[in-house]
Amino acid sequence: MDTTASTGTAIDITATPEWQALAEHHTALRDRTLRELFAEDPDRGCRLTRQVADLVVDHSKHRVTDETLRLLLALAERAGLRERIDAMFRGDHVNVTEDRAVLHVALRAPATTDLVVDGQDVTRDVHAVLDRMADFADRVRSGEWRGHTGRPIRAVVNIGIGGSDLGPAMAYTALRASSDREITARFVSNIDPTDFAEATRDLDPAETLFVVASKTFTTLETLTNATVARDWLLRGLGEGTDEGAVAKHFVAVSTNTDAVREFGIDPENMFGFWDWVGGRYSFTSAIGLSLMVAIGPGAYREMLDGFAAVDEHLRTAPLAENLPVLQGLLNVWYTDFFGAQTHAVLPYSQYLSRLPAYLQQLTMESNGKSVREDGAPVTTATGEVYWGEPGTNGQHAFHQLLHQGTTLVPADFIGFGRPNHELGGGDQGDGDMHDLLMANMFAQSAVLAFGRTAEEVAADGTPPELVPHKVMPGNRPSTTILAPQLTPSTLGQLVAFYEHTVLVEGVIWQIDSFDQWGVELGKVMARQLAPALTAEAPPELDSDASTTELVRTYRALRGR
């Protein structure tokens, strides 16, 4: 009996002539070096650099020729990429396993966009929420919104996890230069009590506003932290404070009005979004409320416009000039033909220190799949492991492996023309701090690409026994993204670029990049196990021997 239920249509992309052509091309190309490719085509650095909005994207240090790109684009056409992009923008249910539209692009579309999906006037609803958010953010920022004791709000604590945390948390760090320094934003996500304790330890409850952000409003971590926050608030406001105080200090962001009400937050103080916004794609929904309070509605709208510029590029640019498309195809090239398993994100900006964590959810929850949309097993690798750290810190930690290790790690370098802080340094005539930062970035991608041969190392007078240790293999691919400055707009452009890259890869692999069934079982099991950790008399565990023993040890450590 065939037990495979079909949830959509899919093809075996690896069985197509386009895939076969790429496999053959890879065999011919895999031993060619970037040195050779650059020597043959001195104009390559310029030719393979393109611009989308303010982002200048250099793809020249990739192990590709024009023929590779032609074949990758043919693969994209075979996979139906253009139709899938159009379907997403149209509001078709491209999230097939959850039977939902995928419309995060509508969250930043201009108010003039005509989009009615499943009977909902999407643009009107999006802008109505945005206007409410802006009004609320202005009232908090101006001091008009006051806490229970009449004091203005000085701290906004976002309680959420995954997509209800990582976007605003990453962006708050990224946009500190644009934020109101009189109001601090904190982000509590982990169910580890440490997170809440440390985030609130120096806050005054009378001046603190909690934003409880959860698409489903059922997430254990978030509801537990929110309950702890309510206790903290009522206790902190002093004896006799009634539940009425909660209304002045709690707002919710969710799609689930009933659960918000049940939790005790007045739906009047709720900012909604819709089930066609996936959790990890929800950053530009009301989930961005805490960020909007921090940076202000004006800067927030600039960020949305940045997103929209790249959305429009994805929608309208021919695939051959479409930067997220090209980036996604290059990722497929390395994952499936070179066997790369990870992808490094190396922002040369301390402000982007949380970008790798944000991208981990975006990319890995989306494309960490092993069955296609139709339920059949995939026949090639999917989903790279994303990781990274800001440069130059990473150089002094893991770049050794990038340069001389045995693993191929495609990398993205991200840098800016102008710093957000002009500080001196560089008294040797070698530029200021930002110049030195960027010189490091350019040096790293050049060394990765071109390396250093044994002859070159020996020519420096290196003792022969050390030569092999100093050879830099090179031929390690990277993308460089340069923007004028880190601003709300360029941050939006960057995030949209990555969002769409994920879509492109998912379409090639014929997987559903918008569901996340793989996270459910662990949640269910945690709920089942919790009583065994706490009950006075340990219940018989219907668990594997390892888990049973770990629970027993834990109970002993907890003195239970």
Residue (164 or 479) nearer to ligand F6P, CB = 164
Residues designated as active site: 365, 396, 523
Residue (216 or 380) nearer to ligand F6P, CB = 216
- Among residues 370, 345, 368, the alpha carbon closest in space to that of 358 is found at 345
Peptide bond into 208 cis (omega under 30): no
What's the min distance (Å) between Cβ of 522 and ligand F6P? 8
- Among residues 58, 62, 56, 22, the alpha carbon closest in space to that of 38 is found at 62
The CA distance from 9 to 20, in Å, is 21
The CA distance from 220 to 527, in Å, is 9
What's the min distance (Å) between Cβ of 287 and ligand F6P? 8
Cβ burial, residue 398 (10 Å; 0-12/13-18/19+): middle
Task: Show the CA angle centred on residue 31, arms to residues 25 and 33, nearest 5°.
Answer: 110
What's the min distance (Å) between Cβ of 178 and ligand F6P? 25
What's the min distance (Å) between Cβ of 73 and ligand F6P? 31
Half-sphere exposure of 201 (CA within 13 A, CB side): 6
Residue (271 or 413) nearer to ligand F6P, CB = 271
Residue (74 or 529) nearer to ligand F6P, CB = 529
The residue with its CB nearest to ligand F6P is: 279
What's the min distance (Å) between Cβ of 164 and ligand F6P? 4
Q: Give the amino acid at 457.
A: V
Both tokens of 387, joined, read 């990781």
Residues of this chain that interact with ligand F6P (CB under 6 A) are 161-164, 214-216, 219, 222, 279-280, 365, 516, 519
Give me the residue label for tokens 């959420």: 160
Residue (229 or 299) nearer to ligand F6P, CB = 229
Contact 215, 282 (CB under 8 A): yes
The CA distance from 369 to 378, in Å, is 8
Residue (252 or 371) nearer to ligand F6P, CB = 252
What's the min distance (Å) between Cβ of 269 and ligand F6P? 18
Beta-carbon contacts of residue 357 (< 8 Å; ≥ 6 apart): 166, 170
Contact 34, 450 (CB under 8 A): yes
- Among residues 246, 221, 211, the alpha carbon closest in space to that of 232 is found at 246
Give the helix ranges, DSSP H, for 464-519: 467-470, 488-509
What's the min distance (Å) between Cβ of 75 and ligand F6P? 29
Residue (54 or 515) nearer to ligand F6P, CB = 515
For the chain, counts of helices (H) and of strands (E): 23, 13
